[in-house]
Structure 1
Amino acid sequence: MRAVSLVPSLTEAIAVTAPGRLAGVTDWCTHPAGLTAARIGGTKNPDVAAIVALRPDLVVANEEENRAPDLAAIGAAGIEVLVTTIRTLDQAFEELERVLAAVCGRPRPRWLDEAEAAWAALPPPRAPRRAVVPVWRRPWMVLGRDTFAGDLLARLGVENVYAGHAERYPRIPLDVLNAAGADLVVLPDEPYRFTVDDGPESFPGLPAALVDGRYLTWYGPSLAQAPAVLRAALR
């Protein structure tokens, strides 16, 4: 099986489970270190001609990270496309199992068992803290409804103020965010790279939790360590 992955999380999952199956990956696929697969552009602007030239048996994609026209063009070239939908942790485990079975054809990997066990072992959350969770600035955008990261935070006792918003990633003015009644702001380092000097200053008087975006937004081997890493960051 020769595969192309258009999703960094799934790239890591496949590469860790069955090294050598990936013929192509995106420019944003940074894990695991030492990937030698061909680079075929970004998640939103893949080089379809380059993908076709690699002659993969399967292209792995995600309905949120990749654009439908690109996936349609790949399919029109006669290449099978497996499109995942991941908006909750449970969906992540289900889709990971489906992708790994399709690409790797091996027994369920140990890291997936470890990831499920790590999340199942979480203690009951304390009284929830209400948080705003920006993912971009200029303009400010936050997590809204039905997001994978929002589901992880809820399992850790963090209630997303905008979880009931009509949009999944709404644009909210900064003054409205500051008046939302949150008692915490969660600032991941991707897709926007929030840092101690870029983000917390916009929320005066509100505690800020800087979190590693890979543990909050990636669904792959990092899920095994994510509960411990995120709990430490959210204290």
Structure 2
Amino acid sequence: MRRDHLDRMVNLNGKPKRIISLVPAITETMYHLGLEKEIIGRTRFCKFPADKVQEAINIGGTKDIKLERIHELKPDLIIAEKEENTKEIVEILEQHYPVFVFEVQHIKDVYRMIEDLGSLTDRKAAANELINNIQSAFQALPSADGKRAAYVIWRKPYMVVGKDTYIQSLLEEMGFINPFIKADGRYPVVTEEEFLQAELDMILLATEPFPFQEKHFKEFQAFLPNVKPMVIDGEMFWYGAKMVEAADYFKKVWG
């Protein structure tokens, strides 16, 4: 028996050999730990590493799984995450399979996730190496020197990153001040007036989940004429194995 990050007891019988991941960032991390033979299923949003992930069966989305495909695969472990996957999905799957649920809201949670993932899959050495590589890379993160920034993830309505999220934790690590962490919810809806009141220095337009592009600059400049918008690669804000690559990206963008 193992206790997951939601304090649930998960019954595991030995080292898992048939794993399904419902979490794109964790899927990439598992491949990085050398689990390509064990990963039999993943979501359609699991796209890294591009040269390996297609070998695993697509079992649907993070919130709309295809249960019959999962039954056909007969997994001995399913990986989920509290934000990425719904409580209902976990409750359905745990009737049939061991489901280990992670919760990642902060950089420190990522290290715990990688460490526990290594323990679950007998990849402790690889997990420790990845943690060390991330920590080393993050020592050289650029500093935003207290710039006030909004990280925008959606349009119509505008939604931004708020409190208790990995992205906010990463922004804070780089020295950004997010004026929307006091708003209700982890991804609050924000009006044009609230953007104005936030006294922003920067507005970061993420390429996911809404695919912001430079063509959207004009609409923000119409009500924030003194704030330069910037398209930011949302994939660089994935946690796990992506963090090493992300550190280099941030140095190029803000270093």
TM-score past 0.5 threshold = yes
Matched residue type, 2:249: V
* Aligned residue number for residue 57 of structure 1: 76
Q: Which residue of 1 aligns with 2:115?
A: 97
Residue of structure 1 equivalent to 2:240: 220
User: Residue 141 of structure 2 contacts residue 251 of structure 2 at CA under 8 Å; is this kept in 1?
Assistant: no
Number of equivalenced pairs = 232
Q: Measure the CA separation in 2 of the matches of 1:106 and 1:94.
A: 12
Instruction: Specify the code of the residue in structure 1 equivalent to 2:232.
Output: V
Partner of 1:84: 102
Considering only aligned residues, what root-mean-square deviation do their CA atoms show, in Å? 1.8
Q: CA deviation at 1:16?
A: 2.2
Query: AA paired with 2:79?
Result: V
Distance 1:126 1:188 in 2: 17
Deviation readout 1:73-118 (Å, 9 max, x if unpaired): 00012x0111111011111111122123213535234333211211
Offset at residue 129 of structure 1 (A)? 0.3
Residue in 2 aligned with 1:230? 250
CA offset at residue 46 of structure 1? 0.9
Cα deviations by residue, 1:28-81 (Å, 9 ceiling, x for unpaired): 01100132100000001011222122111110011001011011100012x011
Query: Map of 1:1-235 to 2, 5 A cutoff?
Result: 1-18=17-34, 19-34=36-51, 35=53, 36-77=55-96, 79-109=97-127, 110-122=129-141, 125=143, 127-199=145-217, 201-203=219-221, 204-216=225-237, 218-234=238-254
Contact 1:210 1:233 in 2 (8 A): no
Contact kept, 8 Å, 1:17 with 1:104, in 2: the verdict is no
- Note the C-alpha offset of 1:174: 2.4
Q: Is contact 2:144–2:254 with CA below 8 Å preserved after alignment?
A: no
- For the Cα contact (< 8 Å) 1:211–1:230, is it kept in 2? no
Instruction: Please tell me the residue identity of whatever aligns with 1:120.
Output: Q
8 Å CA contact 1:132–1:160 kept in 2: the answer is yes
Secondary structure of the residue aligned to 2:216 is coil
Q: Provide structure 2 residue ranges, at least 5 long, that are not aligned to the other structure.
A: 1-16
* Structure 1 counterpart of 2:9: none
* Percent of pairs with identical residues: 28
Contact 1:145 1:164 in 2 (8 A): yes
Q: Which one-letter code corresponds to 1:97 in the other structure?
A: E
Question: Gaps (5+ residues) in structure 1?
Answer: none
TM-score normalised to the size of structure 2? Answer: 0.85
